[in-house]
Structure 1
């Protein structure tokens, strides 16, 4: 804006005048992400996959890149439990990754982490770890995982402790346990912790009486249980 001074009656007067000035736009080259500091103990996470994701999200430069959006995209990848992203000027990113810790197998395609949340196995198997398997038609993974933990805690108190190899939950919610020693335990749908506790209270006596013959036990009875013995033996009922 240009001020023009005009002399007249009453002294000096200022008459503003406006001018339009055209300026050629200046195109600045975006500052691209050139360095990534990847932190955390990575065993199953593919660093190249992380690098590719940063490349896709950072095509408009580090100034435009949203750390929170990148964090969410990283946590959507298999085997990433938590991630944090921080910009380091002028052209660096610091990414910290915490991997998923598998607690149990969920079917054939995935795992549950320590929170009971499902994550895809992405073709990775853990042969070095003997994890219990959950075969379930129920979709509430956290509830099923909590149920498994309760049952494992009860079994750990018995004198002849045996770990759970598989917990099967059918469409009706009925639970069947496969133990490491080969025993099959049918718990049904209701009061499953109480039923398993009833078995733990009597397992020593029953195991001694039918040593080497016990194949399975059906606890879906209010006042007793049905024992499944080896093929040469007949099923016998034990009443309390």
Structure 2
């Protein structure tokens, strides 16, 4: 049996090394070409999918009951759907635009295969006014539509915007408490000094001051049947800020009359 000499093996490996390098370079080149072709194909596919002429939006479904939200506002907020087509439209952007409309409480947008879009919109339901140009929904969220004046019959709440939740809580508490005497709050205000003022549905003004407003309201409710319900003349207001009584301002001319508690 013949045995290869070490020098012969080294020479043969040296002769094969260039061919291996060329094969490696050729393989890498082919891989690069395949990658470029694949990326080009993906890009062309994405470009085709974004083509509004190839994939138009033909149907827009709008779900929701609207009393104040105008269809013109919805059309303006969703114009991109028709311009960019089924795949090209950015659903999140359209949803954000709808949510920014003053009368929109919640909005959801989704694609409906093959050429439709579905809009689910929940309209705001105002339960009270806030200041001069705002409305509050049942969650206490503030929104500011253009037609606030149409809701003059709603209760009016006012106060520092940072204390809005506190004002809303007091309104709910006072409304429930005043049901005992058949009245409800038409307005509640927390002024800059953090003093409370309540106006009832019969026009009576109640001044509760800065402290113990809940206790003072409870005292007013307790004295209402005896002092005000059967009074021969209506009262303009009552001041509950006294430690041992209250003062009544009657609608007829005269000075406030104080009652000891």
Alignment map for 1:1-240 (pairs within 5 Å): 17=26, 18=29, 26=44, 28=48, 29-30=51-52, 31-56=55-80, 59-123=83-147, 125-127=149-151, 130-158=153-181, 161-207=182-228, 210-240=231-261
**Larger Rg: 1 or 2?**
2
Shift of the alpha carbon at 1:58?
6.2
The alignment's TM-score, normalised by the length of structure 2, stands at 0.76
Q: Is the 8 Å Cα contact of residues 105 and 124 (structure 2) preserved in structure 1?
A: yes
Shift of the alpha carbon at 1:201?
0.5
For residues 208 and 34 of structure 1, the distance between their equivalents in structure 2, rounded to whole angstroms, comes to 65
Label 1:156 to 1:193 Cα distance change in 2 as closer, same or farther (>3 A).
same
Q: What secondary structure is seen at the aligned counterpart in 2 of 1:197?
A: helix
For residues 221 and 79 of structure 2, the distance between their equivalents in structure 1, rounded to whole angstroms, comes to 56
The alignment's TM-score, normalised by the length of structure 1, stands at 0.82
The structure where helix makes up a greater share of residues is: 2
Instruction: Please give the root-mean-square deviation of Cα atoms over the aligned residues, in Å.
Output: 2.8
Name stretches of at least 5 consecutive residues in structure 1 with no aligned partner: 1-8
**Pairs aligned (count):** 226
For residues 89 and 171 of structure 2, the distance between their equivalents in structure 1, rounded to whole angstroms, comes to 43
The structure where strand makes up a greater share of residues is: 1
For residues 194 and 119 of structure 1, the distance between their equivalents in structure 2, rounded to whole angstroms, comes to 32
For residues 203 and 240 of structure 2, the distance between their equivalents in structure 1, rounded to whole angstroms, comes to 17
Shift of the alpha carbon at 1:36?
0.8
Shift of the alpha carbon at 1:135?
3.0
Label 1:87 to 1:213 Cα distance change in 2 as closer, same or farther (>3 A).
closer
Label 1:137 to 1:231 Cα distance change in 2 as closer, same or farther (>3 A).
farther
For residues 65 and 76 of structure 2, the distance between their equivalents in structure 1, rounded to whole angstroms, comes to 19
Name stretches of at least 5 consecutive residues in structure 2 with no aligned partner: 1-15
